[in-house]
Amino acid sequence: MEKIKERYDVLIAGTGVAGLACALHLPSDRRVLMLTKAAADESDSFLAQGGICVLRSPDDYQKYFEDTMRAGHYENDPAAVELMIRSSPAMIEELVGYGVRFARDESGMFRYTREGGHSVPRILFHGDVTGKEITSHLLAAVRALPNVQIAEGYELLDVIAADNVCFGGVVRENESGDVFPVYAAYSLLATGGVGGLWENSTNYRHLTGDALGIALKNGVRVEHIDYVQIHPTAFYSERHGRRFLISESVRGEGAVLLDKNGSRFCNELLPRDIVTSSIRLQMQKDGTEHVWLDMRPLGERTVKEHFPTIYRHCLDEGYDVLKDPVPVVPAQHYFMGGVKVDADGRTSMRRLYAAGETACNGVHGKNRLASNSLLESLIWAERAAADMCVRGFDEERSAPRPDLAAYAGYAEIKENYAKAIREEAEREAYCD
Ligand SMILES: Cc1cc2nc3c(=O)[nH]c(=O)nc-3n(C[C@H](O)[C@H](O)[C@H](O)COP(=O)(O)OP(=O)(O)OC[C@H]3O[C@@H](n4cnc5c(N)ncnc54)[C@H](O)[C@@H]3O)c2cc1C
């Protein structure tokens, strides 16, 4: 790997859709460093199954807006929701331009699927691996850029800041434990969600809310740290580790939830938080560790064509979804809160941006509408890049040198970040 230099124009932490979309929209004469704790393709963006929402036609605007607001318990920022919806057709066009293939019918028109909380089908998909289809194309496009360097196995440990201005980050090479400064005119936090802090989560284990810990330590404004989404249907397993998701779109296509006696007990197409509550209540009543998801109503063709990965995973676990229901249980899935940003991804610290799941731009309110997250991550990341370009890449003054000795105790730093996140979540939940 090319050696990491001391100075770049832009430092991006995270190689999910948010980090990649930002890198793709920076000028080709600007030097960009992208860090990722793990391999570049180990991000939640690769795991997204269901799809990505789009405004199908101007007629759907009101309904799409209302569905997003209702799912978010009307705590969403209406201007942010409008911005996302209005930007969605252009974003999809752009993705298609990168080579992303969404499902189409015989006449070549997009096919749309549906998930909980959506009043009409408006989700574009690629089988049950939409995230992999989108993110692998973006990653390939970034890898082709000579001005962007991707450093795998490197972690952003802190920002370099003085007087509420960000000058870059303190970076750790995970293998050697070496810690060093990287200076940049702008930095973007795109480190994803918080699932790694939870025992049961559909997220990659290395996603531990690092940007939030860094923000809290440096007095950068955060919002709604207690707004965590639990997905109703992760595959139930007694094993530890990441939980396998069974996409909501299987319910959108007709799968039903059953109690221990094989009876339905809720409307499967209500927003996620409501379905999750119904499942928990049912498990309590039945004294069980899970409920059942019956995919048989979908029929063999839909299961094998639209959900091949889910079909195979369940088979590997000993369940043939064409013949039997599978055990499912709610698990931590998504984080609505985050580092507070404006419409251009700017945080409360100058020259520091945030995008993707780690940021809170107001789109999701208290509960995310399914398949809105890839979309908003992409849109805000691109807006952040555009804002950096408008402001220019000149540096205001010389950067302070961080005291690297202060970063010797890695485990302790991470523990402090996790503790600060939990305490802030508790404080906010108490104040709500
Ligand atoms: C199983 C699953 C299914 C989903 N399905 C859908 C769906 O169908 N539709 C939808 O819209 N959304 C879906 N989501 C949510 C969506 O995938 C995420 O919200 C979105 O991909 C977040 O993108 P991101 O770029 O913010 O973060 P991620 O894609 O998670 O990327 C985070 C990156 O940050 C890096 N990182 C973390 N900490 C550090 C650090 N300290 N230093 C350096 N790098 C760091 C990671 O290594 C990674 O590269 C799903 C999520 C999961 C888990």
HEC string for 220-273: CCEECCCCEEEEEEEECCCCCCCCCECCCHHHHCCCEEECCCCCECCCCCCCHH
Evaluate: CB of 376 within 6 angstroms of ligand 1. no
276 and 328 in contact (C-beta within 8 Å)? no
Evaluate: CB of 371 within 6 angstroms of ligand 1. yes
What are the boundaries of each domain within the chain?
7-227+336-431, 232-332
Q: How far is the CA of 37 from the centre of ligand 1 (A)?
A: 12
Q: What is the pLDDT of residue 116?
A: 85
Residue nearest to atom 14 of ligand 1 (CA): 48
Instruction: Note the pLDDT tens digit of each residue in 171-218.
Output: 999 999 999 999 999 999 999 999 999 988 999 999 999 999 999 999
Q: How far is the CA of 45 from the centre of ligand 1 (A)?
A: 4
Per the model's pLDDT, the better-predicted residue between 151 and 249 turns out to be 151
Residue nearest to atom 6 of ligand 1 (CA): 48
Q: What is the pLDDT of residue 432?
A: 63
Q: Which of 268, 297, 271, 265 is closest to 283 using CA atoms? A: 265
Instruction: Note the pLDDT tens digit of each residue in 256-270.
Output: 999 999 999 999 988
Look up residue 281 and give its two tokens: 């209540």
- Asked whether the predicted pLDDT for residue 130 surpasses 80, the reply is yes
Q: How far is the CA of 263 from the centre of ligand 1 (A)?
A: 35
Evaluate: CB of 115 within 6 angstroms of ligand 1. no
Q: What is the pLDDT of residue 266?
A: 94
Architecture in CATH for domain 7-227+336-431? 3-Layer(bba) Sandwich (3.50)
> Mind telling me the catalytic residues?
272
> How far is Cα 28 from Cα 38, in angstroms, rounded to an integer?
26
Distance from the first to the final alpha carbon of the chain? 48
Q: Please state the pTM of the whole predicted model.
A: 0.94
pLDDT category, 428, cuts 50, 70, 90?
A: confident
Instruction: Note the pLDDT tens digit of each residue in 304-343.
Output: 999 999 999 999 999 999 999 999 999 999 999 999 999 9
232-332 CATH, one of 2.60.40.1660, 4.10.110.10, 3.90.700.10, 3.40.50.2300: 3.90.700.10
Atom of ligand 1 nearest to the CA of 192: 27
Averaged pLDDT for residues 131-138: 98
**Residue whose structure tokens are 């201007």:** 79
Where do the H-state alpha helices sit in 130-248? 130-143, 210-218
Query: Mean pLDDT score of the chain, rounded to an integer?
Result: 95
